[in-house]
Structure 1
Amino acid sequence: MPHRWEPTAPWPTDLVRPVAVDPLGVAGPTRREAAGPYWVRTSTARYVPADTDRTRAEQRVLEQAERLPPAGAVTGWAACRVHGAAFFDGLADDGRTRLPVPLAVGPSGRLRGDPGATAVHHVLLPSDRAHLHGIATVVPVRAAYDAVRLAAGPRGAVVALDMALAAGLTTLEQLAAYADQQPRDRRTVLRAAGFATPHSRSPRESRLRLAWLLDARLPAPLVNPTIRDRAGRFLGIADLLDPVAGLVAEYDGADHRTSRRQAADLGREDRLRRVGLEVARFSGPDLADRALVVRRLLEARARCRFDGDLDRAWVAIAAS
């Protein structure tokens, strides 16, 4: 059976909403308590208990949303998370650096400086705004649009769009229609859309596909197709497949390191090789070395059989 994949994530129910000072100490800390060790200020006149886990992406979004002006909204990666997109975890590509929460404040809006947030001065129409989980946010298509245009570099933009598509926040058609109405960064978003797919299953898998396309300059692969033998037996789902050459590329993330998952990976690789497919595997550190990725892809493709349709012992079914 294929490994379970979850592109969406439920909004946590145990977040701690910042509160104001309460002279009675009922709805919030007294002024004296707020100055003590058991409370932490999150923004002007807003506090949470000191034992609150403020590293969680959702908690950071909730705290920063308290700083919004009346017509503002959370946007970008943070809004994607509010709408349930699992891979928008508020971390940079290194998996450690926390990204600031983007807050849409309109062209003339102001936001007091805070390393935990960044002001987005882009036209924000009433139709762009929504409320979800008690947070003023943008609608899903605007969340995706801003996540793409605010991403780190062109490849980061494609990765962001892949993950927004995977979570069902928007479609390429909806995004293109929305982009046609936007005065800023339209080309950036549409350029990313030209490389995006709704079938990618992780950010690193998307980066492997971009290395395949842009660095190795190989033909566009099928993304996560199902592979069966001629008798219809399930062999596996390939991250990337060149159906002409018979080349499979696999990204092995952290969840592949358990003994059970490694055994499943090796079993799938053996089944794919038995029907004549060539398999190249990559890990996270590999993707940091594009020259290595290119070399291994090209070497693997040189070993491929390039069987014709009638000679293949396998059938690829494109993801839908």
Structure 2
Amino acid sequence: MHRWDPIAPPVTGLVLPVRVDPTGRAGPTRGQARGPGWRITSPGLVVPATVDDGLVEQRILEASARGGDRAVVTGWAALRLHGGGFFDGLARDGRTRLPVPIAGNGDRLRGRAGLEVVEDRIPPDEVTYVHGIRCATVERALFDEMRRIGEVREMAVAIGAACAAQLTSLKRIRLYTATRRWYRDVRMVREAVALAGEDCRSPQEDRFRLIWICEARWGRPLCNRAILDTDGRLVAVPDLLDPQRGVVGEYAGADHRDIDQHESDIAREADLRGVGLEYVEVVARDLRDPARVVRRMREAAERATALTRRWVLGPPPSPTLDEILDRRDAARARRDT
């Protein structure tokens, strides 16, 4: 599985923390818990020392155990439990751990290191169980995550990451947001939904898309749409495409530094130019300088005017994301009956 896969890998072997037991029957004694065989996850709760909380799902489980029976994991942590690969529990720097957001749902919780208390209650119809953990449903968790982020463009990126993992769709989160008019920050959530897309395959690709829309003002690009030559052969499936200007955009992540991948990228660029499309490639540092990206885009558009169009759009993806989700829901309903 590629490390940038939007769908999280399957998880097994999670270990629920146990309480310290003075008798030693249901758990380690206090003295044993302080020894090398155990790791304290929170006051009174321990797991064997061999259990590593480097696995983000284990970290979420340990945090949820602190909350009690009514607590509900939400935000990025619930989205990870649902299978969102890009919700890895790390800040933008890729190193700093985000606290696990948990709603107390009536219990008095205190925020501690690694745990953030969400004030709002999560009603029963928005609670489900994943890996035995009480967590918010997808749309509720995404709604809470956007409110935590608090910045419209990054909120839109979070929506895109959830769509890439096939957890929800723009239609579904739009309908959910419409039912939450009284929540604080809902105006920003609506703005993010309006700006979001569901066809990007990574957050960085989505951030490039937002520069394309907001700074370059080129309108919404087509994302991951097949390009064919005039004989119907596949040329490429670029990250972004402006069919009127004849410009494609590609985000080159760290894996593109691999020599074989780099050679493939060079051939891909040549193939696209060969059918009359200009090419803009960006890397992570470029996304921190939108003006630089816009300048490259404009230069590419100027070059594209000299090219002869020898390409056509491939068909739109089928089935659509909403069709995939509807079929999945129907299959689950049949299993539950």
Q: Say which SS state the counterpart of residue 36 (structure 2) adopts.
A: coil
Q: Which amino acid aligns with 1:315?
A: V
Match of 1:142 in 2: 140
Cα distance in 2 for residues equivalent to 1:174 and 1:306: 42
Cα distance in 2 for residues equivalent to 1:17 and 1:306: 63
Q: Which amino acid aligns with 2:241?
A: L
Match of 1:18 in 2: 17
TM-score (norm 2): 0.87
* Aligned length in residues: 314
Report the CA distance between 1:121 and its aligned residue.
1.1
Give structure 1 stretches of 5+ with no counterpart. none
Contact 2:4/2:86 (CA < 8 Å) preserved in 1? no
Cα distance in 2 for residues equivalent to 1:33 and 1:122: 38
Match of 1:313 in 2: 310
Q: Which amino acid aligns with 1:256?
A: H
Give structure 2 stretches of 5+ with no counterpart. 321-337
Cα distance in 2 for residues equivalent to 1:101 and 1:302: 48
Q: Structure 1's 33 and 81: CA in aligned 2 closer, same or farther, altered over 3 A?
A: same
Q: Which amino acid aligns with 1:65?
A: S
Q: What RMSD in Å do the two structures reach over aligned CA positions?
A: 2.1
Contact 2:224/2:238 (CA < 8 Å) preserved in 1? yes
Deviations 1:139-167 (A, max 9, x none): 11112222222225211101100011121
Cα distance in 2 for residues equivalent to 1:24 and 1:76: 38
Contact 2:4/2:202 (CA < 8 Å) preserved in 1? no
Match of 2:101 in 1: 102
Cα distance in 1 for residues equivalent to 2:134 and 2:220: 39
Of the three residues 165, 168, 178, the one matched with 2:166 is 168
Percent identity between matched residues is 46
Q: Say which SS state the counterpart of residue 97 (structure 2) adopts.
A: coil
Matched, 1:64 2:58: no
Q: Which amino acid aligns with 1:21?
A: V
Match of 1:236 in 2: 236
Once the two structures are overlaid, the 10-residue window that deviates more, 193-202 or 171-180, is: 171-180
Deviations 1:72-93 (A, max 9, x none): 2100110000001111111111
Report the CA distance between 1:14 and its aligned residue.
2.7
Contact 2:239/2:248 (CA < 8 Å) preserved in 1? yes
Match of 1:49 in 2: 48
Contact 1:240/1:250 (CA < 8 Å) preserved in 2? yes
Report the CA distance between 1:177 and its aligned residue.
2.1
Match of 1:153 in 2: 151
Match of 2:329 in 1: none
Contact 1:245/1:306 (CA < 8 Å) preserved in 2? no
Matched, 1:121 2:119: yes
Contact 2:15/2:47 (CA < 8 Å) preserved in 1? yes
Q: Structure 1's 63 and 176: CA in aligned 2 closer, same or farther, altered over 3 A?
A: same
Q: Which amino acid aligns with 2:278?
A: E
More helix by share: 2
TM-score (norm 1): 0.91
Contact 1:144/1:170 (CA < 8 Å) preserved in 2? no
Q: Structure 1's 241 and 18: CA in aligned 2 closer, same or farther, altered over 3 A?
A: same
Cα distance in 1 for residues equivalent to 2:3 and 2:49: 36
Cα distance in 2 for residues equivalent to 1:28 and 1:252: 50
Contact 1:276/1:305 (CA < 8 Å) preserved in 2? no
Match of 2:204 in 1: 204
Cα distance in 2 for residues equivalent to 1:113 and 1:22: 25
Match of 1:195 in 2: 195
Report the CA distance between 1:275 and its aligned residue.
0.6
Once the two structures are overlaid, the 10-residue window that deviates more, 42-51 or 235-244, is: 42-51
Cα distance in 2 for residues equivalent to 1:286 and 1:28: 52
Deviations 1:218-268 (A, max 9, x none): 221101111110111111111000000110110011222222222222221
Cα distance in 1 for residues equivalent to 2:22 and 2:107: 31
Report the CA distance between 1:109 and its aligned residue.
4.5
Cα distance in 1 for residues equivalent to 2:253 and 2:262: 11
Q: Say which SS state the counterpart of residue 188 (structure 2) adopts.
A: helix
Q: Structure 1's 233 and 132: CA in aligned 2 closer, same or farther, altered over 3 A?
A: same
Cα distance in 1 for residues equivalent to 2:299 and 2:93: 28
Of the three residues 98, 110, 113, the one matched with 1:112 is 110
Q: Say which SS state the counterpart of residue 80 (structure 1) adopts.
A: helix
Contact 2:157/2:203 (CA < 8 Å) preserved in 1? yes
Cα distance in 2 for residues equivalent to 1:53 and 1:254: 26
Q: Which amino acid aligns with 2:73?
A: V
